[in-house]
Amino acid sequence: MKKNVRPWVLAAAVIPLAFTLTGCFGGPSIPNVPNIPGADGGSDEVNDELVEDIVEGSGEGDVDFESDSLPADFPVDDVPLVEGEIGPSMSISNGQAWTVTIYTADEATAKSAPALLEAAGFSNESGIFWETSEYIVILVATDEGDDGRWYVYYQVQTQS
């Protein structure tokens, strides 16, 4: 099987951004920057275009950032997601990779993510990520947040 290092490069670039945008890390606020959650004087809403500009400016390619929905090109028929409210999500490099955060109501739903992937034909031989011949998926599930919800973060990449 061909080994692909892109998931690790993508993970290093995207996971910290996704956690920052979903509020999973406390981190310092960014002063005087509007429309960034937690910024002094900013709103609680994420400005989709601002996020796209930041990521595209970093050289990561074309980005479609959504606040409360899946990107239009997310492979919903191939990658099962847990039930819950869709939070921040991105499509990167014209459908080569995606990130999705799902807010679930309880721990059982959050912890069902691996079983859903395995039922859809994904294997977890690495112990780190799930894969098929078409996709690699990295999952991160968090404990209950301050708002009583559980967070499941998906990072999906094509195997091409």
pLDDT at residue 70 is higher than 70: yes
Residue-wise pLDDT tens digits, 117-138: 999 999 999 988 999 999 999 9
* Domain-located, residue 81: yes
pLDDT in the model for residue 138: 95
pTM: 0.65
pLDDT at residue 56 is higher than 70: no
Q: Are strands 130-131 and 97-104 parallel, antiparallel or unpaired?
A: unpaired
* Domain-located, residue 128: yes
* Domain-located, residue 16: yes
The total of structural domains in the chain comes to 1
* Domain-located, residue 1: no
- What residue has token string 């109501």? 105
Q: Domain span at residue 150?
A: 6-158
